[in-house]
Amino acid sequence: MTSEFDYDLFVIGAGSGGVRAARMAAGKGKRVAIAEERYLGGTCVNVGCVPKKLFVYASQFPELFHASQGFGWQVGQMPRLDWKTLRDNKSAEIARLNSIYNNLIANSGAELFDGRATVVGPHKVSVAGVTYSARHILIAVGGWPYIPEFPGSEHALSSNEMFFLDALPKSAVVVGGGYIAVEFAGILNGLGVETHLVYRGPRLLKSFDAEMTAKVTEGMAAKGIHIHLSSDVDEITKTADGLRVALADKAAIDTQLVLYATGRRANTAGLGLDTTAAVLRADGSIVVDDQFATADPSIYALGDVIDRVQLTPVAIQEAMVLVDHLYGDGTARIDYSDIPTAVFCQPEFGTVGLSEEQARAEYSAVDVYLSDFKPMLQTLGGGADRVTMKLVVDRTTDRVLGCHMVGEHAAEIIQGLGIALKAGATKAHFDATVGIHPSAAEEFVTMRTKAR
């Protein structure tokens, strides 16, 4: 039987969500096209999670070189970083991942278009001057860094450019108080760059547990990052040998690089959605329902472009729910509660569930367990790092509502606790679990005394 459409599904954007949706739909025998104008794998693979984590590893070596001496290693002079080796090895690894994505798409049977696709009406997509029809179009074009406009804002870089710098600067000012700002401040500081972090609000990572983010801030400062809170940037000017960042309180910071990490906006400009009934918010993000349907019956959207939770694993889950909705039995749902997440700042921060503030707002009786200790590496290695762990418990049901950790391996540890929270674990379950000794993680099952 011939279809009235060229494709069952035309996906625009080959990032985490788009590729997963295309592969799964093709795996169900659907005729699928996927178009990508920039790079396969999207933000995460190319200018986000993956290269960021590689840079985080790179930035942690100086502390390890230092610590190794307490364990008897004679390292002599501190080793020197060759930025270009790091940058180019990173780029080679990303190229390897791009080609894996290419193979994944090809092997799934989906057809890849290398170019910019635009929507030219319901059911209609245009690539390189040719218009194709599709029963459904999926918009998975992600987001793009947002830099506010102000005098001198043209001198600021976004995270996109940080992965390709010609040279590592001697000094840098990072503006923002979210994930990207604190992560890049840690990377730059660790790589030996004199780093200032300037944030307009009173506390970093403001949507997370206040006590834990205060520990992050203390830890970052202890590692040498100059943190300026409640501080607005007025202007950036060029100087003879760099840039001057003028702050609203009249102070100024001379620096070689300014990074603005002030959020990301949906990448919908010029996409042609105005030729359809799809509704966009003022910031360009797309309004969708529980099944990721827009107001236009032929158009769906997911991932960063819908601006719910800008995280790769969430986009991937959204894609699986959508494919089940379109081509499966339609029972799959996404649950946005208890999403584990980690900020790869230094010290690292991992969290799942409710912050103490959220728990106290929602529950009448909340118990808090806290543990703060020196990690074992530091006993011989020296260094100022600490580990802080926190459990937030509903006293009425004994259910653990939130697990939070600042310190080494927080991301790895919190991932497992995410399963416990999903399973509805109680504090009694935590207490009945045998610890792994010696580890930092065992503290999560040995906290017996309520802090509050």
Q: Which residue has the tokens 């996409």?
A: 271
Cα gap 342→414, rounded to integer Å = 8
Query: What crossing angle do the helices spanning 83-108 and 49-70 adopt, rounded to 10°?
Result: 140
The binder of ligand NDP chosen from 26, 32, 180, 370 (CB under 6 A): 180
Candidates 24-32, 73-81, 170-178, 388-396: pick the segment binding ligand NDP (CB under 6 A). Answer: 170-178
Known catalytic membership, residue 226: no
Query: Which residue reads 């679990």 in tokens?
Result: 433
When the beta carbons of 84 and 206 are compared against ligand NDP, the nearer one is 206
Pick between residue 134 and residue 204 the one whose CB is nearest to ligand NDP: 204
| Candidate ranges 27-35, 276-284, 339-347, 421-429; the one touching ligand NDP (CB under 6 A) | 339-347
Identify whether the C-beta of residue 184 lies closer than 8 Å to the C-beta of residue 169.
Answer: no
Can residue 13 be called a binding residue for ligand NDP (CB under 6 A)?
Answer: no
Calpha distance 257→243 (Å, rounded): 7
3-state secondary structure of 447: coil
What whole-number distance in Å separates Cα of residue 362 and Cα of residue 72? 51
Does position 341 interact with ligand NDP (CB under 6 A)? The reply is yes
The answer to whether residue 228 forms part of the interface with ligand NDP (CB under 6 A) is: no
Partners of 138 in the β-ladder: 11, 300
Which residue among 84, 170, 206, 395 contacts ligand NDP (CB under 6 A)? 206
Q: Which of 298, 310 has the CB closer to ligand NDP?
A: 310
User: Measured between alpha carbons, how far is 17 from 316 in angstroms, rounded to an integer?
Assistant: 5
Please work out the total of residues on this chain that contact ligand NDP, with binding judged by CB under 6 A.
23
Residue 124 CA from chain centroid, whole number = 32
Strand partners, 402: 353, 392
Whichever of 231 and 276 has its CB closer to ligand NDP, that residue is 231
Secondary structure percentages of the chain, helix, strand, coil, to 5: 35, 25, 40
Closest by alpha carbon to 292, among 261, 252, 330, 265?
330
To the nearest 10 degrees (0 to 180), the angle between helices 210-222 and 179-190 is 20
Residue 46 or 262: the one with the smaller Cβ distance to ligand NDP is 262
| 202 near ligand NDP, judged by CB under 6 A | no
Please say which residue, 179 or 369, places its beta carbon nearer to ligand NDP: 179
Cα 246 to the center of its chain, rounded Å:
29
Angle between the 16-27 and 83-108 helix axes, to the nearest 10 degrees? 20
Residue that is written with structure tokens 């991942």 in the block: 97
From the list 115, 201, 382, 416, which residue makes contact with ligand NDP (rule: CB under 6 A)?
201
Alpha-carbon distance of 354 to 370, in angstroms, equals 15
- What is the contact mask toward ligand NDP in residues 303 to 322, using x (rule: CB under 6 A)? -------xx-----------
Residue number, 17 or 370, with CB nearest to ligand NDP: 17
Contacting ligand NDP (CB under 6 A), which of 31, 264, 325, 404?
264
Span 146-165, contacts to ligand NDP by CB under 6 A: 148
Q: Which stretch binds ligand NDP (CB under 6 A): 74-82, 105-113, 175-183, 223-231?
A: 175-183
Q: How far is CA 135 from the centre of its chain?
A: 32
Residue 263 engages ligand NDP in binding (rule: CB under 6 A): yes
Of 177-185, 349-357, 370-378, 420-428, the segment contacting ligand NDP by CB under 6 A is 177-185
- From its phi and psi, is residue 382 left (phi > 0), alpha (psi between -120 and 50) or beta? left
Residue of 136, 155, 196, 437 marked catalytic: 437
Tokens of 105: 């798409």
Decide if residue 47 touches ligand NDP (CB under 6 A): no
421 binds ligand NDP (CB under 6 A): no
Kindly tell me which residue out of 18, 41, 176, 347 binds ligand NDP, with binding defined by CB under 6 A.
176
Assess 266 for contact with ligand NDP (CB under 6 A). no
Is 178 among the residues that bind ligand NDP (CB under 6 A)? yes
Q: Which of 40, 156, 342, 440 binds ligand NDP (CB under 6 A)?
A: 342
Chain centroid to CA 76: 37
Binding site for ligand NDP (CB under 6 A): 148, 175-181, 183, 199-201, 206, 261-264, 310-311, 341-344
Positions marked active-site: 437
